A = this chain, B = another copy of it.
């Protein structure tokens, strides 16, 4: 299971209008595209990915929502579709433990620190200035790491300190600074290639290395 955490510093923590995701919903559009980038293949889903989005905007922050690729239903690739599942989750009376709102989508009260503590794995923090992901070996499998990204505001100093409590690496995906959803596409392509290579290394095939 590949775990991804994205922090939405302004993202609404109460039901919002689907017609204004960037404005009233606090750049919820970024998080929606992140969910889509993390879970969709062409005509298929990435069933081995779990995405956590941390909502830190008003009025009832912080909350965390988890999309689980292995059990997700009713999700289409468009922003409005993931936004609608987030909105449904926010309609729940949220507690300090996970509650499923729709199949494969769960919500709880909790901040970045709570979620990282719960996942409790080595952190790969995607950030400008990190070491290029292409040169990295990363883990042999990805079951023992969690990938962390910020929204348009990056991560705060406190959030970076939270990461430092864990074994961690800072990794970059290319020479330019990109949106979080685009970083996720590049990250997963890199993992796809590493997995492909691991599968084919013995057969001598290495079309994608």
CA gap between A98 and B134 in the complex, in Å: 41
The 0/1 profile, CB within 8 Å of B marked 1, for residues 137-179 of chain A is: 0000000000000001000000000000000000001111111
Residue pair A80, B77 in contact (C-beta under 8 Å): no
Within 8 A of B (CB), among A114-143: 132, 134
Question: Is A13 in contact with chain B by the CB < 8 A criterion?
Answer: no
A178 CB contacts on chain B under 8 angstroms:
41-42, 185, 189
- Say how far A186's CB is from chain B's closest CB, in angstroms: 6
Question: Is A3 in contact with chain B by the CB < 8 A criterion?
Answer: no
Indicate how many identical chains form the complex.
2
Question: Is A78 in contact with chain B by the CB < 8 A criterion?
Answer: yes
Given B33, B152, B177, which contacts A33 in the complex, CB threshold below 8 Å?
A: B33
Question: Is A208 in contact with chain B by the CB < 8 A criterion?
Answer: yes
List residues of A whose CB falls within 8 A of some B CB: 18-19, 21-22, 29-30, 33, 37, 40-44, 76-81, 132, 134, 152, 173-179, 182, 185-186, 189, 192-193, 195-196, 207-209
Q: Give the 10 A-B residue pairs with the shortest CB-CB distance, closest first.
A: A29-B78, A175-B196, A42-B177, A185-B185, A175-B208, A182-B185, A174-B189, A79-B79, A22-B78, A176-B192
- 7 further A-B contacts with Cβ under 8 Å, apart from A43-B152, A175-B193, A182-B189, are A19-B80, A29-B77, A41-B177, A174-B193, A174-B196, A175-B208, A176-B192
